């Protein structure tokens, strides 16, 4: 079970800074306004599938950036956060070739999940995808891990999560999974060796 953002996919900037960093410079949208009016009040419902992204985004853009269409904004957002770690992906493919199943386990809403899977092509490299808006829970909520384990019909101790967010790793372990805090500093083979 592999996380996406921070593991397989990163911001496009060379220094790894968030797509938020150039938002004002590129689109004249205040990151603070966007966070306060969109992400803080709406994101949890969106990322757990209880509300649609466009349904909540469009009124906010109309208020804080009326000249920016929702389609242009999403193209910017998704496109600025879309650098696939092809080296790591190739390493995972070698394990798949040996019979190890690779699933994505990620916090995403429906539109970006489709972008990751179809536009970036991640669907061709994995056996299954579990994302929060489809699961109905987000990491690190226990419901995410229990629902995913039940959906693959495997005991938790047969699952390994690789995630760059420590609370997600700790929550997976609390749910009975094996879990690795991914920093990118150690080779994948060394990270997986204790579990395979």
Task: Please write the tens of the pLDDT for every residue from 141-164.
Answer: 999 999 999 999 999 999 999 999
Residue 67, both tokens: 């000249």
Which residues have C-beta within 8 Å of that of residue 171, sequence separation ≥ 6? 139, 140, 141, 142, 144, 145
Per residue in 93-120, pLDDT (tens digit) is 999 999 999 999 999 999 999 999 999 9
- In this model, does residue 13 exceed pLDDT 80? no
Confidence (pLDDT) at 28:
95
Domains contained in the chain, CATH given:
19-80 (no CATH), 84-195 (3.40.50.1000)
What's the pLDDT score for residue 96?
95
| Angle formed at CA 89 by CA 170 and CA 74, multiple of 5 degrees | 80
Calpha distance 72→74 (Å, rounded): 6
pLDDT at position 21, please? Answer: 86
Confidence class for position 19, pLDDT limits 50, 70, 90: confident
CB 82 within 8 A of CB 112: no
Specify the 3-state DSSP secondary structure of 18.
Answer: coil
Kindly indicate the confidence band of residue 37, based on its pLDDT and cuts at 50, 70 and 90: very high
pLDDT bracket for residue 9 (50, 70, 90): very high
- Predicted local confidence at residue 196, as pLDDT: 84
Give residue 18's pLDDT band: very low, low, confident or very high (50, 70, 90). confident
Q: State the pLDDT confidence band at 138, using cuts at 50, 70 and 90.
A: very high
9-10 and 83-84 beta bridge pairing: antiparallel
């Amino acid at each position: 079970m592999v996380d996406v953002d921070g593991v397989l996919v990163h911001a496009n900037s060379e220094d790894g800074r968030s797509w938020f960093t150039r938002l004002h410079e590129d689109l004249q949208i205040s990151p603070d306004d966007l966070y306060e009016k969109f992400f803080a009040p709406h994101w949890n419902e969106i990322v757990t599938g209880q509300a649609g992204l466009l349904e909540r985004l469009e009124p906010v853009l109309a208020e804080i950036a009326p000249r920016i269409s929702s389609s242009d904004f999403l193209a910017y957002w998704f496109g600025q956060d879309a650098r696939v770690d092809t080296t790591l992906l190739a390493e995972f493919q070698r394990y798949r070739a040996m019979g190890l199943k690779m699933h994505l386990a990620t916090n995403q809403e429906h539109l970006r999940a489709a972008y990751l899977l179809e536009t970036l092509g991640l669907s061709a490299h994995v056996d299954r995808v579990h994302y929060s808006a489809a699961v109905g829970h987000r990491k690190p909520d226990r419901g995410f891990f229990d629902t995913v384990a039940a959906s693959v019909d495997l005991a938790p101790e047969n699952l390994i999560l690789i995630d760059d967010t420590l609370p997600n790793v700790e929550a997976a372990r609390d749910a009975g999974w094996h879990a690795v805090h991914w920093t990118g500093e150690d080779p994948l083979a060394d990270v997986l060796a204790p579990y395979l």
